């Protein structure tokens, strides 16, 4: 099973700033099958990025994903109020599908 | 636009079987991949398993001995059964889907299932 470790656990930033979230895998993720989700309180997660760098339908271009192998990054340029939430990375290169423990992005 | 809705009991007794349904609208269970994911209160996400449009399944090994996911094409829904539940199975259970297996574009709103006597 691939273990995903996200850092930092909590990130405190102000609206308009740039956020950089990290996801490190315990082994290489096949085909860079790495996704990112945003989860607001009381809501289901929303798919942001898949295939490490492809934005899902309807996701604004302030969200970008990068990385390969075991190291992946989600960058959010110009934070909007709705971006303050919890972010999860998830791998689907092997079974079982696994998630990181989450990064909480909070307003500074 | 595919929409999903989970239904089922919100309270299950220890050692009993948790049963949930996910009703699909705006799409057909005869296409796409259909999954269950859960989230204990205040914690992270755990993939439970999926069933494909053709009926093939894959389960998380940590739950495999207790999980069954099935399709009901006549009702356009899919179901989760988790047997021999304990308090650690208390969670919000989400159903999810996508044209391609592995990620989830469409999600239900989630349903909280509490395991308690």
Q: What is the pLDDT of residues B30-79, one digit of tens each?
A: 989 999 999 999 999 999 999 999 999 999 999 999 999 999 999 999 99
Token duo for residue B17: 């079987």
The shortest CB-CB distance from A50 to any of B44, B103, B108 is to B103
Token duo for residue A64: 């970008």
The shortest CB-CB distance from A35 to any of B94, B103, B110 is to B103
**Cross-chain Cβ contact A97/B102 below 8 Å:** yes
In chain B, what residues touch A95 (CB-CB under 8 Å)? 58
Q: What is the pLDDT of residues A62-74, one digit of tens each?
A: 999 999 999 999 9
Q: Which residues lie closer than 8 Å to A96 by C-beta, 6 or more apart?
A: A1, B47, B60, B61, B62
B67 part of contact set with chain A, CB < 8 Å: no
Centre a 10 Å sphere on the Cβ of residue A60 and count the other Cβ atoms it contains.
Answer: 12
- Could you tell me if A90 and A99 are in contact, meaning their C-beta atoms sit under 8 angstroms apart? yes
- Could you tell me if B40 and B90 are in contact, meaning their C-beta atoms sit under 8 angstroms apart? yes
φ and ψ of B94, to 5 deg:
-110, 145
- Could you tell me if A38 and A48 are in contact, meaning their C-beta atoms sit under 8 angstroms apart? yes
Q: What is the pLDDT of residues B1-33, one digit of tens each?
A: 899 999 999 999 999 999 999 999 999 999 899
B18 by Cβ neighbours in 10 Å (0-12 / 13-18 / 19+) ranks as buried
**Cross-chain Cβ contact A47/B104 below 8 Å:** yes
Determine the Cα–Cα distance for residues A106 and A94; give it in Å rounded to an integer.
31
């Amino acid at each position: 099973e691939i273990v995903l470790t996200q850092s930092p656990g909590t990130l405190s930033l102000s609206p308009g700033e740039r956020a950089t979230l990290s996801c490190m895998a315990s082994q290489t993720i096949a085909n860079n099958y790495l996704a990112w989700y945003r989860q607001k309180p009381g809501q289901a997660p929303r798919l942001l990025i898949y295939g490490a760098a492809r934005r899902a339908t309807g996701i604004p271009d302030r969200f970008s994903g990068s990385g390969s192998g075991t190291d992946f990054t989600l960058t959010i340029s110009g934070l909007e109020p709705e971006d303050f939430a919890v972010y999860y990375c998830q791998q689907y290169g092997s079974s079982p599908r696994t998630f990181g423990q989450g990064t909480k992005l909070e307003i500074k | 636009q595919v929409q999903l809705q989970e239904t089922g009991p919100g309270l299950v007794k220890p050692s009993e079987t948790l049963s949930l349904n996910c009703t699909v609208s705006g799409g057909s269970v005869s296409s796409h991949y259909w999954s269950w994911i859960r989230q204990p209160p205040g914690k992270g996400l755990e993939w439970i398993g999926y069933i494909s449009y053709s009926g093939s399944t894959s389960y998380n090994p940590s739950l495999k001995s207790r999980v069954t996911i099935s399709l009901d094409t006549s009702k356009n829904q899919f179901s989760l059964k988790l047997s021999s539940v304990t308090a650690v199975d208390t969670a919000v259970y989400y159903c999810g889907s996508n044209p391609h297996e592995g990620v989830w574009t469409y999600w239900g709103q989630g349903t909280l299932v509490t395991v308690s006597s």
